């Protein structure tokens, strides 16, 4: 079934947000993407491919921006001009009435939703037959309550809506599912009241032709001031931390990579970031082959830097809504290449000092430990569908700790020794893991899976 079109209201001036900097509100950057691109990407993630973007203030610039987004994402974006935009956002919806004769979704360009919010809304409007307004009952967590559009409810029925309500139950999220009835209501209410969308909503509510649905699983922000933009960005950064992070990653790397990702996210997409982290590791590996203490120590620093940067690609992907299965795969594959090169270089570093075959035996053990441990975990997940149980022992075998160990070892002038210690621990864990899982299998008797 074809997805309904999405109407994005991007005609307002947003004077409070731009602070006279001259960037129109829809083209204001939020965590690396313009508000307009972020809105389009979010719907696109859920399979929507047809958009009407209503433009008014700075219409040429915004239209230009919309065209670029359409080309980049391969979606259809139809700009709709609304010269009456100063009369209220209802006029922007009306401007699209000539083009749309079926149900559609509607959002304000400056309302930023996360995927959970949109997912919940799409689910709750699946069989909707009248217009639906998304509302948030968590009124205390709204950052700019004064400017928010408030809603007074009776069950799903909207009793009143407006910015100046004294008593209210929830906040209008600026996210709608609309039947074409909304156009009729806006025409009617405009004659009687004004050009605001909320006037049309009030008219629909009086005729019981709109219902409110509560969304409460995700996060959203109405970005109308610079300080809210900053707060919302901060909130986004906090939420993309990963629970499976290793010890070093959690307590050191993430603290730094966050700050870097924040700055890089508007400049770089995830895959080049993966490439940069790999090149830094490569440079570190090269320096290990020099042999001088200074080069070795610097190599260690580069290895640790690459470990920090390794967190950035995933963070940037999530900030920019560009997370992809192949991108994540590419990241882990380059990690394995980097690990192989690092273990080769560290082994060679030792070989220069001590020309015995045992050095290479240790190198082989390390290389197999570092690639093998990832293999064993991934293959386990693939075969059994289960996650590898996390423990401190298991965390000692993760990449963040491995590279940190080599970094510390390099500073102490003993990168090979540090690598061997980590390789030894990793081998122990692998044997422990195989032993535990196979014992479990035999305890349970025949495992059912075919």
Q: Residue 344: CB partners within 8 Å, gap ≥ 6?
A: 285, 363, 367
330 belongs to the binding site for a copy of itself (CB under 8 A): yes
CB of 433 to a copy of itself, least distance (A): 9
**Window 239-298: residues binding a copy of itself (CB under 8 A):** 271
Report the residue from 86, 379, 390, 391 that binds a copy of itself according to the rule CB under 8 A.
379
Alpha-carbon distance of 311 to 197, in angstroms, equals 43
The 53-92 contact track toward a copy of itself, x by CB under 8 A, reads -------------------xxx------------------
Report the residue number, 23 or 388, with the smaller CB distance to a copy of itself. 388
Residue 408: its H or E element: helix 399-411
Question: By rule CB under 8 A, what count of residues binds a copy of itself?
Answer: 60
58: left (phi over 0), alpha (psi -120 to 50) or beta: left
CB of 209 to a copy of itself, least distance (A): 34
Structure tokens of 299?
Answer: 């190599």
With 0-12 / 13-18 / 19 or more C-beta atoms within 10 angstroms meaning exposed / middle / buried, residue 247 is middle
378 belongs to the binding site for a copy of itself (CB under 8 A): yes
182 belongs to the binding site for a copy of itself (CB under 8 A): no
Q: Please state, as a whole number, how many other Cβ atoms lie within 10 Å of the Cβ of residue 5.
A: 21
Report the residue number, 254 or 318, with the smaller CB distance to a copy of itself. 318
Nearest alpha-carbon partner for 115 in 44, 218, 230, 34: 218
Alpha-carbon distance of 210 to 201, in angstroms, equals 7
**Window 35-54: residues binding a copy of itself (CB under 8 A):** 41, 44-45, 47
322 belongs to the binding site for a copy of itself (CB under 8 A): yes
Q: Residue 387: CB partners within 8 Å, gap ≥ 6?
A: 381
Is 80 strand, coil or helix?
strand
Report the residue from 1, 294, 382, 392 that binds a copy of itself according to the rule CB under 8 A.
382
376 belongs to the binding site for a copy of itself (CB under 8 A): yes
380 belongs to the binding site for a copy of itself (CB under 8 A): yes
Backbone angles phi, psi at 56, to 5 degrees: -150, -85
Binding site for a copy of itself (CB under 8 A): 41, 44-45, 47, 72-74, 115, 271, 321-330, 332-333, 336-337, 340, 343-344, 347-348, 351, 357, 360-361, 363-364, 367-368, 371-372, 374-376, 378-385, 434, 437-438, 440-441, 445-450
């Amino acid at each position: 079934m074809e997805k309904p079109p999405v109407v994005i209201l991007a005609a307002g001036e947003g004077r409070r947000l731009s602070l006279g900097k001259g960037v129109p509100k829809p083209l204001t950057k939020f965590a690396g993407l313009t508000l307009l691109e972020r809105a389009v990407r979010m719907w696109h993630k859920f399979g929507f491919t047809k958009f009407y973007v209503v433009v008014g203030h700075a219409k040429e610039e915004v239209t230009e921006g919309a065209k670029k987004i359409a080309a980049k994402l391969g979606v259809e974006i139809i700009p709709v001009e609304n010269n009456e935009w100063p009369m209220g956002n209802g006029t922007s919806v009306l401007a699209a009435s000539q083009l749309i004769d079926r149900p559609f979704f509607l959002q304000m360009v400056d309302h930023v939703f996360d995927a959970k919010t949109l997912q919940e809304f799409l689910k709750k409007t699946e069989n909707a037959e009248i217009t639906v307004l998304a509302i948030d009952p968590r009124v205390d967590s709204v950052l700019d309550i004064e400017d928010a559009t408030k809603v007074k409810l009776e069950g799903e029925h909207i009793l009143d809506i407006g910015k100046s309500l004294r008593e209210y139950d929830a906040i209008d999220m600026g996210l709608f599912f609309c039947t074409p009835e909304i156009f009729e209501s806006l025409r009617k209410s405009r004659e009687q009241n004004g050009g605001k969308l909320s006037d049309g909503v009030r008219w629909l509510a009086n005729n019981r032709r709109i219902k409110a649905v509560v969304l409460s699983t995700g996060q959203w922000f109405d970005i109308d001031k610079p300080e809210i933009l900053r707060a919302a960005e901060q909130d986004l950064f906090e939420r993309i931390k990963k629970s499976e992070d290793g010890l070093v990653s959690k307590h050191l790397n993430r603290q730094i990579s966050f700050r870097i990702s924040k700055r890089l996210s508007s400049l770089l997409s995830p895959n080049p970031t993966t490439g940069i982290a790999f090149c830094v590791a490569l440079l570190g590996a090269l320096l290990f082959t020099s042999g001088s203490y200074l080069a070795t120590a610097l190599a260690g620093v580069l290895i640790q830097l690459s470990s920090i940067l390794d967190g950035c690609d995933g963070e940037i992907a999530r900030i920019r809504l560009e997370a992809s299965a192949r991108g994540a795969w590419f990241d882990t594959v380059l990690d394995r290449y980097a690990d192989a090169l690092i273990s080769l270089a560290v082994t060679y570093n030792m070989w220069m000092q001590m020309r015995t075959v045992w050095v290479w035996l240790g190198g082989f053990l390390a290389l197999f430990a570092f690639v093998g441990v990832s293999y064993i975990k991934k293959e386990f997940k693939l075969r059994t569908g289960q996650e590898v149980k996390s423990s401190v022992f298991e965390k000692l075998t993760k990449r963040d700790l491995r590279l940190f160990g080599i970094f510390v070892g390099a500073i102490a002038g003993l990168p090979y020794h540090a690598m061997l210690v980590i390789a030894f621990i990793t081998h122990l864990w692998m044997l422990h893991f195989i032993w535990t899982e196979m014992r479990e299998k035999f305890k349970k008797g025949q495992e059912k899976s075919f």
